[in-house]
DNA sequence: AACTTATACTAACAATTGTTAGTAAAAGCA
DNA sequence: TGCTTTTACTAACAATTGTTAGTATAAGTT
């Protein structure tokens, strides 16, 4: 890892725990293994480090999303894919995504950083709400709307259904944020949630066939 | 308001936005209208202010809860009370509680303060998770268990049902934290959630009578 | 090899930090 | 009233802050 990347990483690590103001340039430099003045060869000032951290970690996050994304050329192949997976496979997929958000070094630290700084900086507050609340809800709403339209899910308001799916995930992230030793408990609670959610909202194939007659 | 209370209030207000480290003794003193050295007539040091803020605001919060609490002498009078209120009344009660958490000056600032400081201070992290996650979930789990046992709610895991009820509230608090102008939207989303929740989990009286035969 | 650019260093700066000592006025109490 | 305690003030402190100037070395380019 080059010096610039190291600075980004170490600053992200420190900011995400103590917050922007509580971390000094000297602490960051020390973690990187250089003197504080050398930081200024890579960044304009302290604020610039924070800006670049958010910018670049978000870019990293979005490109990660692109890689796991289902190709969206066909209008409802997401729904078709969903037909072909069992409840257990779906649980495993949800668990993997949850653990990614909970434990991925960069994304979990970014979430904590934005969480910490959301009130002190309006732009960061907007970013936090967009990335970790509104954007996720909107994406899920769109998918759920397709599931409702194709009869895979029961009738209802797609947004509220997205809220019902994502909110427990959101809460569990904060509940188990600082407790890596309780990871198994976290996964268990998540699976209980997803199972119950499926039982409530998902139409089984028999129901769907009856409906299609 | 006496000087000591003023310090508590102004420090809470500042800490809850910028975080503990970013706020200076001089800023707090300035808001109160005194010089920085006078602070030390009321608190041992800066850390002491933070400790007392959390301690006393929590006390304030718990005593508020006591006042709205249903008397828990009889083992299932919560359930009986729940029978006598309509869905609309229940919606209004939920809305009021939600708005209390979202807008009460002290409790909303305390939540933001604990949110901001949860990662930098292990004890605060524990307090945050206990007060705003675990404690709420446990309380609701107990109530829901009674509702399940008495047939007012459908069978299922009470903890997961509590998670399904509280998580959207938790998320909405953060979604609308900094947006007082969107309060109506927040209430609407909350009501959609609670309505849907009732439709899913609550047995109507007809179902209940059938079950009791 | 000569030259340019990037990077790291030492040293220093002005400003700000939490905190203390000493003092005078105000409040509470006998 | 006189006495004690509380509270607010001024002034100062040592430490730490973000940042800059100047310099030497390493890396990259021609």
Quick check: do A1-50 and A70-212 share a fold? no
How far does the CA of B41 sit from the C1' of D6, in Å? 8
Q: Which residues contact A113 (CB under 8 A, 6 or more apart)?
A: A12, A15, A16, A53, A54
Residue B56: CB atoms within 10 Å? 16
Q: Tens digits of per-residue pLDDT, B90-123?
A: 899 999 999 999 999 999 999 999 999 999 999 9
Averaged in consecutive runs of 10 residues, what is the pLDDT profile of chain A (213 residues)? Answer: 97 98 98 98 98 98 84 58 78 93 96 98 98 97 94 95 98 93 96 96 75 61
- Residue closest to B57 by CA, chosen among B103, B140, B114, B120: B114
Q: Do A196 and B134 touch (CB under 8 A)?
A: no
Residue B107: CB atoms within 10 Å? 20
> How far, CA to CA in Å, does A85 sit from each of A65, A196, A200?
21, 17, 18
A164 near B CB under 8 A: yes
Residue of A nearest to B197 (CA): A164
DSSP states of A84-100: TS-HHHHHHHHHHHHHH
The confidence score (pLDDT) of residue B70 equals 55
How far does the CA of B6 sit from the C1' of D27, in Å? 59
Q: Do A21 and B21 touch (CB under 8 A)?
A: yes
A119 token code pair:
């009130």
Q: Which fold has domain A1-50?
A: Arc Repressor Mutant, subunit A (1.10.10)
d(C-alpha B158, C-alpha B156), whole Å: 6
Beta bridge partners of B153: B202
d(C-alpha B169, C-alpha B105), whole Å: 18
d(C-alpha B122, C-alpha B8), whole Å: 22
Contact between the CB of B47 and strand C at under 7 Å: yes
CB burial of residue B164 (10 Å; 0-12, 13-18, 19+) = buried
Question: Quick one: three-class SS letters along B19-86?
Answer: CCCCCCHHHHHHHHCCCHHHHHHCCCCHHHHHHHHHHHHHHHHHHHHHHHCCCCCCCCHHHHHHHCCC
Phi, psi (degrees; rounded to nearest 5) at B153: -120, 155
Q: Do A171 and B174 touch (CB under 8 A)?
A: no
Q: Do A163 and B193 touch (CB under 8 A)?
A: yes
Beta bridge partners of A153: A202
Chain C positions under 7 Å from a protein CB? 6-12, 16-22
Structural domain spans, chain A: 1-50, 70-212
Residue pair A83/A152 in contact (Cβ under 8 Å)? The answer is yes
Provide the ipTM: 0.94
Low-confidence ranges of chain B (pLDDT < 50): none
The confidence score (pLDDT) of residue A67 equals 85
A28 near B CB under 8 A: no
d(C-alpha B72, C-alpha B66), whole Å: 11
Residue of B nearest to A123 (CA): B178
Judged by DSSP in three states, B132 sits in helix
Q: Do B116 and A116 touch (CB under 8 A)?
A: yes
Q: Do B119 and A164 touch (CB under 8 A)?
A: no
- Helices of type H across chain A: 3-18, 25-32, 46-68, 77-83, 87-103, 105-117, 122-129, 135-149, 158-175, 183-201, 205-212
Residue of B nearest to A134 (CA): B175
d(C-alpha A51, C-alpha A101), whole Å: 21
How far does the CA of A127 sit from the C1' of D1, in Å? 66
The confidence score (pLDDT) of residue A18 equals 98
All protein residues with a CB under 7 A from any atom of strand D: A 23-27, 36-37, 39-40, 45-47; B 3-4, 29, 34-38, 41-42
Q: Which fold has domain A70-212?
A: Tetracycline Repressor; domain 2 (1.10.357)
Contact between the CB of B18 and strand C at under 7 Å: no
A181 token code pair:
């030793």
The confidence score (pLDDT) of residue B88 equals 87
Q: Measure CA B15 to chain center.
A: 19
The domain B1-53 belongs to what CATH superfamily?
Answer: Homeodomain-like (1.10.10.60)
Nucleotide nearest B29, from its CA to each C1':
D8
């Amino acid at each position: 890892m080059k010096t610039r990347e190291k600075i980004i990483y170490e600053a992200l690590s420190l900011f995400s725990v103590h917050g922007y103001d509580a971390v000094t340039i000297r602490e960051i430099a020390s973690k990187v293994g250089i003197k504080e003045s050398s930081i200024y060869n890579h960044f304009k000032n302290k604020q610039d480090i924070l800006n670049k951290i958010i910018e670049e970690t978000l870019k990293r996050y979005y490109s990660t999303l692109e890689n796991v994304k289902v190709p969206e050329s066909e209008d409802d192949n997401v729904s078709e894919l969903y037909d072909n997976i069992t409840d257990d496979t779906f649980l495993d997929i949800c668990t993997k995504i949850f653990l990614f958000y909970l434990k991925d070094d960069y994304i979990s630290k970014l979430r904590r950083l934005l969480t910490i700084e959301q009130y002190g900086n309006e732009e960061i507050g907007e970013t936090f709400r967009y990335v970790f609340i509104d954007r996720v809800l909107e994406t899920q709403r769109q998918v759920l709307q397709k599931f409702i339209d194709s009869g895979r899910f029961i009738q209802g308001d797609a947004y509220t259904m997205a809220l019902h799916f994502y909110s427990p995930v959101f809460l569990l992230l904060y509940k188990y944020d600082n407790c890596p030793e309780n990871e198994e408990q976290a996964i268990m609670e998540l699976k209980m949630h997803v199972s119950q959610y499926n039982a409530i909202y998902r139409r089984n194939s028999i129901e769907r066939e009856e409906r299609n007659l």
